[in-house]
Amino acid sequence: MNIDNEVANLFLLSLPIACIAWTVTHEEIFKEPREYCKKKSEGCKNILEQKFFYLFTCEYCFSHYIALAFLIITKYHLLFDDWRGYLIGGFSLVWIANLYMSLFARLRVGTKREKMDADIKEVELKEVERGN
């Protein structure tokens, strides 16, 4: 495989890794299991249990395990055809996936802010209309 394909695959494979990691650690559909894991990570006496449960609350941590699963499924490697390629590819996938998640978080905050501003203006407009 040539380097262009490897780099293209790096950016493509990072998308589902970011999507899965973000969904599990942020979205409403996994809220209850995430809250359970957060409580367990804060309340367990055993440090291994704490770390295990914390993993499901941190997108950065969780993305490492998702990337590992994708390395196994796809046999993706970067630059080298041996274990070094898997190591470099794995950390590269995590880095790009977290870049995607950071960009998404910024976009989402901007979108929420715009919606809040629009809601405030709508309420102000209704108050003005009531006053007239």
Count: domains in the chain: 1
Residue 120 lies in a domain: no
Number of Cβ within 10 Å of residue 132's Cβ equals: 4
Range with the lowest mean pLDDT among 2-6, 68-72, 120-124? 120-124
Q: Please calculate the CA angle 113-31-18 and round it to the nearest 5 degrees.
A: 70
Residue 121 lies in a domain: no
Residue 45 lies in a domain: yes
Q: Which domain holds residue 12?
A: 3-104
Residue 110 lies in a domain: no
pLDDT at 125: 80
pLDDT digits 0-9 by tens, 7-44: 999 999 999 999 999 999 999 999 999 999 999 999 98
Residues 6+ away with beta carbon under 8 Å from 67: 17, 90, 93, 94, 97
User: Which residue's entry shows tokens 């790009």?
Assistant: 96
Residue 126 lies in a domain: no
Residue 88 lies in a domain: yes
Residue 109 lies in a domain: no
